[in-house]
Amino acid sequence: MPPAVSPLLQDLQAELPAACLLTDRADLITYAYDGTAAMRQLPLAVVLPLTADQIQATLGIARKHRTPVVTRGSGTGLSGGSIPVANSIVITLVRMDRILELDTRNLTLLVEAGAITQKIYEAADAAGLFYPPDPGSMKISTIGGNVAENSGGLRGLKYGVTRDYVMGMEVILADGKRCWLGSRCVKDVAGYNLRDLFIGSEGTLGIVTQVLLKLLPKPAGRQTLLASFTSMEDAAETVSQIIAARIVPCTLEFLDRKTIQCVENFTRVGLPVDAAALLLIETDGHPAAATEEAQKIEDLCHAHGASSVRRARDSAEAVQLATARRSAFSALARLKPTTILEDVTVPRSELAGMIREVALIAERWNVEIATFGHFGDGNLHPTILTNERDLEEMKRVEHAIDAIVEAALARKGTITGEHGVGLAKKQFLRRQIGDSSHQLLTLVKRSLDPDNLLNPGKIFDLPPFADHHVDAPAH
């Protein structure tokens, strides 16, 4: 006899088309993870809505049965943001992926939240326009996930992050209300800036269903350089010199030796596998300016110890090199079964020191760490290569992570530059922002989602509203 269907599932079945509701154990297993290492939790059910109405209906049922809801894009997140909580409903927006409107007069693009970042880039590109944010996962991440994490990308140095391109968005709140945040105007100061509050809220304040994005004209020229160095110090020094020379490249990425080797193993684009550090640098803009800047950068690289500088011959080669850099994190999985990616950011002047310290930490705790990241933004991804089944080593890994976070905070840095707090970093959040700010965050959450329905347990732990008064201490 089949197991009795719970009242919650009965309600969901009554409300949703069969193809939009998954409850098979096989399906549940496949929504138990995201890109974060060593974290898994099975949900109760998975909903793949096609419309905002279906999301509202699902939220209504969830409220009725006091069942938490975890919103999900493509599950590429690296802080556990879309990992289900126990007994929850997962709503994944990947089927709501339409591009709704390209406004070439106002340079805006309206999309559904499940639209893939790469598709957005391509749609803009086809119209001679440019959507700059390009997280390493852009081939598959959704814009909703990007907005929820305020994702950065390779072009962050010159063009900023997702936040800088969101003009407005439609969200569904925990109580089922649909509202529009932001506007179509470049300038707008009507009321609190709730749009920015929702950007980076990691699915804890509302479900984003549509996003209105700002586009730029496509830069006419682009130059791509690959500079190799025999020491990480030289590379870091070169970066300081480039910034000191008042040049703002659009991309300034680096890879260390281990990362270079893994990436080359996958892409075979001819990276110098014996280099200690590699800088991937792009300039763009007016063709003459892009070329001139690239030349200046090339000279600076040579002056500061670059062993070689390669200039991409054409756009195909440039794309190849950027793609190689984007695969860095996944390619590192070639070395050890478990790869734990850190995401600390420090003021740029602290970069060289931070990199040195990461190396010392690796030595002290006897763990293998490869590092790459967005040099121009001060955003480092020390990646710990380990095996989650080796419990003794995992202990040391935890110490190493703690030490990295401490080192970043000591340098006035942040515990996460782009991946978010989620489950992975919540133990460190208070250390960075202090008690009163921490409490303020929980107050905001409580006022928008009193039942703690949306992605509970992410960013911070908050007991269910029903059992606690608003101004009770956060613990």
Partner 1 sequence: MSTPLPTKAIPAKLGVGPHGLAALDYSILQQCMHCGMCLPSCPTYLETKRERHSPRGRIALMRAIADGEYAVTREFGEEMYYCLGCLACTTACPAGVNYAELFETARADIEQHRVLDTPARRGIRWFALRLVFTRPRLLKVLGRLLWLYQRSGVQTLLRKIGLFSLLPRRLRELEKQTPEVRTQFSDSLVKEVEAPYGPKRHRVAVLTGCVQDILFSEINHATVEVLRENGCEVFTPRNQYCCGSLHAHNGDPEAAKDLARRQIEMISPESVDAIITNAGGCGSHLKHYDTLLADDPRYAARARIWSNKVHDIHEWLVKISFRKPKEAPQQDQVITYHESCHLCHGQKIVSQPREILRSLPGMTLRECAQSSHCCGSAGIYNLTQPATAASLQAQKVARIRETGAHVVATSNPGCHLQLQIGLRDADDSMIEVSQPVLLLARAYAEERRHRTMKR
Ligand X SMILES: Cc1cc2nc3c(=O)[nH]c(=O)nc-3n(C[C@H](O)[C@H](O)[C@H](O)COP(=O)(O)OP(=O)(O)OC[C@H]3O[C@@H](n4cnc5c(N)ncnc54)[C@H](O)[C@@H]3O)c2cc1C
With CB under 5 to 8 Å by kind, the binding choice for 32 among ligand SF4, partner 1, ligand X, none is partner 1
Near partner 1 by CB under 8 A, which window of 241-249, 330-338, 395-403, 434-442? 330-338
**77 interacts with ligand X by CB under 6 A:** yes
**240 interacts with ligand SF4 by CB under 6 A:** no
- Minimal distance, residue 424 CB to partner 1, in Å: 14
CA angle 148, 82, 12 (to 5 degrees): 105
**186 interacts with partner 1 by CB under 8 A:** no
Near partner 1 by CB under 8 A, which window of 27-35, 246-254, 313-321, 403-411? 27-35
Measured from the CB atom, is 139 or 356 closer to partner 1?
Answer: 139
With CB under 5 to 8 Å by kind, the binding choice for 22 among partner 1, ligand SF4, ligand X, none is partner 1
Measured from the CB atom, is 337 or 347 closer to ligand SF4?
Answer: 337
> Can you tell me whether residue 267 is helix, strand or coil?
helix
Measured from the CB atom, is 87 or 330 closer to ligand SF4?
Answer: 330
Complete DSSP assignment for 352-369: HHHHHHHHHHHHHTT-EE
- Minimal distance, residue 79 CB to ligand SF4, in Å: 17
**145 interacts with ligand X by CB under 6 A:** yes
**Is the torsion defined by CA of 405, 366, 358, 82 positive or negative?**
negative
Element (H or E) spanning 113, and its range? none
Per CB under 8 A, the list member of 5, 7, 29, 188 interacting with partner 1 is 29
> Can you tell me whether residue 90 is helix, strand or coil?
strand
* Pick from 306, 287, 286, 285: nearest CA to 242: 306
For the window 283-322, what string marks contact with ligand SF4 as x by the rule CB under 6 A? ----------------------------------------
With CB under 5 to 8 Å by kind, the binding choice for 31 among ligand SF4, ligand X, partner 1, none is partner 1
**121 interacts with partner 1 by CB under 8 A:** no
Half-sphere exposure at residue 310, Cβ-oriented, CA atoms within 13 angstroms: 16
Place of tokens 């991937």: 280
End-to-end CA distance of the chain: 44
Token reading at 3: 């197991």
Residue 386 burial (CB count, 10 A): 23
Which residues inside 232-271 make contact with partner 1, applying CB under 8 A? 263, 265-266
**330 interacts with ligand SF4 by CB under 6 A:** yes
With CB under 5 to 8 Å by kind, the binding choice for 230 among ligand X, ligand SF4, partner 1, none is none
- Minimal distance, residue 286 CB to partner 1, in Å: 31
Element (H or E) spanning 67, and its range? none
DSSP β-ladder status, 178-182 and 206-214: unpaired
Element (H or E) spanning 187, and its range? none
Is residue 214 within 8 A of residue 228, CB to CB? The reply is no
Token reading at 272: 């110098």
For the window 445-474, what string marks contact with ligand X as x by the rule CB under 6 A? ----------x-------------------
**153 interacts with ligand X by CB under 6 A:** yes
**93 interacts with ligand X by CB under 6 A:** yes
* Pick from 383, 387, 357, 356: nearest CA to 372: 383
**Whole-number Å distance between alpha carbons of 247 and 229:** 20
Which residues inside 348-407 make contact with partner 1, applying CB under 8 A? 387, 389
With CB under 5 to 8 Å by kind, the binding choice for 207 among partner 1, ligand SF4, ligand X, none is ligand X
Token reading at 373: 């990241």
**Neighbouring residues of 229: CB distance < 8 A, sequence distance ≥ 6:** 235, 238, 275, 276, 277, 278, 279, 305, 306, 307
**182 interacts with partner 1 by CB under 8 A:** no
Task: Give the binding-site size for ligand X (rule: CB under 6 A).
Answer: 38
Measured from the CB atom, is 330 or 427 closer to ligand SF4?
Answer: 330
**Neighbouring residues of 340: CB distance < 8 A, sequence distance ≥ 6:** 37, 38, 383, 384, 386, 397, 401
Task: Give the binding-site size for partner 1 (rule: CB under 8 A).
Answer: 41
Is residue 161 within 8 A of residue 150, CB to CB? The reply is yes
Q: What is the rounded radius of gyration, in angstroms, for the C-alpha atoms of the chain? A: 23
For the window 310-329, what string marks contact with ligand X as x by the rule CB under 6 A? -------------------x
With CB under 5 to 8 Å by kind, the binding choice for 266 among ligand SF4, ligand X, partner 1, none is partner 1
* Pick from 456, 223, 474, 252: nearest CA to 372: 252
**Whole-number Å distance between alpha carbons of 310 and 283:** 14
Within 328-455, residue ranges assigned H as helices are: 328-331, 351-364, 391-410, 426-448
Query: What residues make contact with ligand X under the rule CB under 6 A?
Result: 34-35, 70-78, 81-82, 93, 113, 135-137, 141-142, 144-146, 148-149, 151-153, 202-203, 207-208, 329-330, 418-419, 422, 455
Query: What residues make contact with partner 1 under the rule CB under 8 A?
Result: 22, 24-27, 29-35, 37, 48, 74-76, 92, 94-95, 97, 116, 118, 137, 139-141, 263, 265-266, 327, 329-331, 333-334, 337-339, 387, 389
